[in-house]
Amino acid sequence: MNSHRHFVKQLIGRTKSPPLLSVAISLQLRICLPLSSSATPTGTPIQTHRKKSLYTSFFCTLVHLFLRCHRLSRATETFSSMRNYNLVPDLPSWNRLLHQFNSAGLVDQVIILYSDMLACGVASNVVSRNIVVHSLCKVGKLEKALELLRENESDTVTYNTLIWGFCRIGFVEMGFGLVSDMLKKGIFFDTITCNILIKGFCDKGLLYNAESVMEMLTDNHRGVCKDVVGFNTLIHGYCKAVEMSGGFEMMERMKREGLSPDIVTYNTLINGFGIMGDFDAANCIMDELLDSNENVNVSYVGDEEKHDYDDGENKGLVEGDLGLEPNTITYTTLISKYVKWFQFEKAFATYEEMTRLGFFYDIVTYNSLIDGLCKNERFHEAKLLLDEMRRVGVDPNH
């Protein structure tokens, strides 16, 4: 039976096609078939407990499998079947189920699961509640999320999630007010708290407030440091407000404070200048980006210097000049802005440069070029590009 269970788990990592899914389902049903004749496995108490634990694990695995394959209704049905057999997962399994349903966007199911967990006598922990708070915030049920926070033990993640919830519906001031609540409870905010609030203020066009939050909340001695994400958010805010001088100055300030702009920084500024039609400035930013690739100055950061919230994508990581290169977004941004300002030849020259460098085009690149060709009454070339688009497997949108 253990070998069957291992096989099912192996399928999870590879299951995208219906045949593999069918194999996993049929095997799972065969393993769990004894439950259909009796809701309570027979044997000694220890054997019964082990069987129940094993069956519960199988059902949880199958729920995960359905969610991974986007069979959402089947996932819900499988969970209901598990509960109909009186099988109760342990707390880590409940938390995994909550996380998986939340990630799949089944917010209502998350609330049902959480209520069922409590009804089964399984005490939640801060991880369980953080998932529920996130689900509630996603659908704007902030009062319920706040109630959950007030009535139970909370941590930095709980508060960050709720602050994000307030910011995403425009109530950034209420989100900022929660920082005082955190400090009263002895819960420390972190760089993520700071960046969420910066974005919240930027989204409302309150750039001065966003900068003030960055200055107010960052404290290198406590590990709450200014980072590239926060600066990029401010740069995007300035570009969105068509205050390009402010955006450019923010990039220069990054450098003065020892942070290296990343590809998002450059793409954001190129897009901002392109929207204004200031292609001299946009190309200056592009030149700086290309120059950065020729002057690589890398120093490695040890594990002990990395923050807990590092997502693991930057292992062995690098400070200083990263030797960045333009990407598809960089070139597509330039193409779309050239087309917008009727500078078709520059758009096609950029397209040819992309081809020379071996970039793959996405739907945005093709749409921008086809739009430019049609506006320039070069319909035959537009048709050829549309045919190429289909040939390489990029589906036209309608």
pLDDT in tens, 134-189: 999 999 999 999 999 999 999 999 999 999 999 999 999 999 999 999 999 999 99
DSSP-derived secondary structure letter, 242? T
Collapsed DSSP state (helix, strand, coil) of residue 46? helix
pLDDT at 265 over 90: yes
- For residue 207, CA distances in Å to 174, 197, 383 come to 17, 11, 44
pLDDT above 70 (res 323) = no
Q: Is the pLDDT of residue 16 over 70?
A: no
224 - beta bridge partners? 219
Q: Rounded distance, CA 16 to CA 371, Å?
A: 36
Residues 240 and 251 in one domain: yes
Mean residue pLDDT across the chain = 84
393 confidence band (pLDDT: 50, 70, 90): confident
Q: Note the pLDDT of residue 42.
A: 57
Contacts of 129 (CB under 8 A, 6+ apart): 148, 149, 152, 153, 154, 158
The pLDDT assigned to 19 comes to 54
User: Considering the domain boundaries, does residue 240 fall inside one?
Assistant: yes
End-to-end CA distance of the chain: 50
Q: Give the range among 18-32, 82-96, 220-234, 308-322 with minimum mean pLDDT.
A: 308-322
Q: What are the CA-CA distances from residue 83 to residues 86, 112, 367 (Å)?
A: 5, 12, 50
What are the beta bridge partners of residue 300? 318
324: left (phi over 0), alpha (psi -120 to 50) or beta: beta
The pLDDT, as a whole number, for residue 257 is 94
* Structure confidence at residue 102 (pLDDT): 95
Query: Do residues 219 and 240 both lie within one domain?
Result: no
In this prediction, residue 241 has a pLDDT band, given cuts at 50, 70 and 90, of very high
Boundary of a domain, candidates 326, 352, 382: 326
Is the predicted pLDDT of residue 375 greater than 90, yes or no?
no
Residue 117 lies in a domain: no
Of 315 and 258, the one with more pLDDT: 258
pLDDT the model gives residue 29: 55
Question: Has residue 250 been placed in a domain?
Answer: yes
Structural domain includes residue 367: yes
Cβ atoms < 10 Å from Cβ of 15? 20
Residue 250 has pLDDT above 80, yes or no: yes
DSSP-derived secondary structure letter, 152: S
Q: Which residues share a beta bridge with 318?
A: 300
86 domain-assigned: no
> How many C-beta neighbours within 10 Å does residue 304 have?
5
pLDDT value of residue 277: 96
* Alpha-carbon gap, residue 391 to 234, rounded angstroms: 40
pLDDT at 220: 77
CA dist., res. 336 & res. 342, Å (int): 10
- Number of domains composing the chain: 3
Clarify whether residues 352 and 271 are in a common domain.
no
- Pick from 28-42, 82-96, 121-135: least confident: 28-42
Whether the CB-CB separation of 45 and 67 falls below 8 Å is answered with no
Please tell me the predicted confidence (pLDDT) of residue 24. 58
**389 or 323: which leads in pLDDT:** 389
> Considering the chain, what percentage of its residues have pLDDT values greater than 90?
57
Which residue's entry shows tokens 């020729």? Answer: 294
Residue 130 lies in a domain: no
State the residue range of the domain holding 283: 227-326
Tokens 């049609």 -> residue: 374
- In this structure, are 168 and 248 located in the same domain? no
Please tell me the predicted confidence (pLDDT) of residue 297: 41
Q: Is residue 253 part of a domain?
A: yes
**Integer Cα distance of 110 and 120 in angstroms:** 15
The reported pLDDT for the residue numbered 394 is 85
What is the torsional sign of CA 242, 248, 253, 258? positive
CB-CB contact of 31 with 2 (8 Å): no
Structure letter (DSSP) for residue 39: S
231 and 322 assigned to the same domain: yes
By the 8 A CB rule, do 215 and 209 touch? no
Higher-confidence residue: 368 or 297? 368
Q: Which residue has the higher pLDDT, 370 or 308?
A: 370
Query: Is 168 part of any domain?
Result: yes
